Amino acid sequence: MDTRQLVGIGMTSQRTRNRLLQRLRDSGIKNERVLAIIGSTPRHLFVEEALAHRAYEDTALPIGYGQTISQPYTVARMTEILLGDNERLDKVLEIGTGCGYQAAVLSQLVEQVYTVERIEPLYQKARARLRKLGMHNVDANLSDGGWGLASNGPYQGILVAAAPEVIPPSLLEQLADGGRMVLPLGGETQKLTLVVRQGDEFVTETLEDALFVPFLSGIQH
Ligand code: SAH
């Protein structure tokens, strides 16, 4: 029998998790709380078993339906930007649940996470997975995130994990005063963008290059 199977993923992954954290630090991630959470969140449980051995590489991986689990660097960077100087946030909306990994990271820094996915099987799987992991402060929803989630807004933070060409107006409306929205903006070339709401003004800052799946409309069953 393969000794790795005997030792189990727990021990084998400690070294690989530390290597991942080092890589994220080298790539410029500074928020130590975010790093600690990435280090302790079991990413291998968010991908198919056949890909679990690659779960702690700093790379995006397929999750089916043409979608991917985001690269750990991207999750760390967006989380760090969303938090800004805040230790914790009260209410955050995520658009694009995918496998639920980003939501799981957020759930450890936010009182209540609302997440929205438009592909029904991904939504079903992510919801079941988050429940099983005991992440009860994540509310998963099947919906077109272009509408946001008005019933629970406004949100102190909005994180968009798919790239629209323009910011959906509903998301701007649902951002609380002083709230922060992080999203990739654009088509073939995308830029990670931070929007901070100050009253009726939306102060926008263009950050680094990004590479996300497109933001699509409608629900896919
Ligand atoms: N947050 C995920 C990343 C998923 S990839 C992670 O932790 O890895 C982006 C997801 O956004 C895909 O699952 C895609 O189906 C979803 N998506 C794209 N456009 C959307 C929309 N308008 N509303 C909701 N989800 C959307």
Enumerate the domain spans of the chain. Answer: 3-210
The pLDDT value recorded for residue 14 is 84
Going by CA atoms, what residue is nearest to atom 17 of ligand 1?
Answer: 96
Are 174 and 38 in contact, with CB atoms under 8 Å apart? no
In angstroms, what is the span from residue 98 Cα to ligand 1's centroid? 5
Q: What DSSP assignment string belongs to 102-157?
A: HHHHHTTTEEEEEEEESBHHHHHHHHHHHHHTT-TTEEEEES-GGG--GGG--EEE
| Ligand 1 within 6 A of CB of 79 | no
Going by CA atoms, what residue is nearest to atom 8 of ligand 1?
Answer: 69
The pLDDT value recorded for residue 115 is 98
Distance CA 8, CA 52 (A): 12
Number of CB atoms found within 10 A of residue 123's CB: 22
Distance CA 33, CA 142 (A): 30
Beta pairing class for 155-160 and 201-210: unpaired
Are 89 and 82 in contact, with CB atoms under 8 Å apart? yes
The pLDDT value recorded for residue 99 is 98
In angstroms, what is the span from residue 206 Cα to ligand 1's centroid? 21
Predicted model pTM: 0.95
Number of CB atoms found within 10 A of residue 189's CB: 10
Tell me the three state secondary structure of residue 189.
coil
The pLDDT value recorded for residue 2 is 43
The pLDDT value recorded for residue 93 is 99
**Terminus-to-terminus CA distance in the chain, angstroms?**
41
The pLDDT value recorded for residue 7 is 45
CA distances 20 to 17, 158, 212, Å, are 5, 26, 21
Q: Which of 107, 136, 141 is nearest to 122 (CA)?
A: 141
Low-confidence stretches of the chain (pLDDT < 70) are: 1-12
pLDDT tens for residues 88-138?
999 999 999 999 999 999 999 999 999 999 999 999 999 999 999 999 999
In angstroms, what is the span from residue 200 Cα to ligand 1's centroid? 28
Q: Which residues contact 20 (CB under 8 A, 6 or more apart)?
A: 38, 39, 56, 57, 58, 72
Fold designation for 3-210: Rossmann fold (3.40.50)
Distance CA 195, CA 192 (A): 10
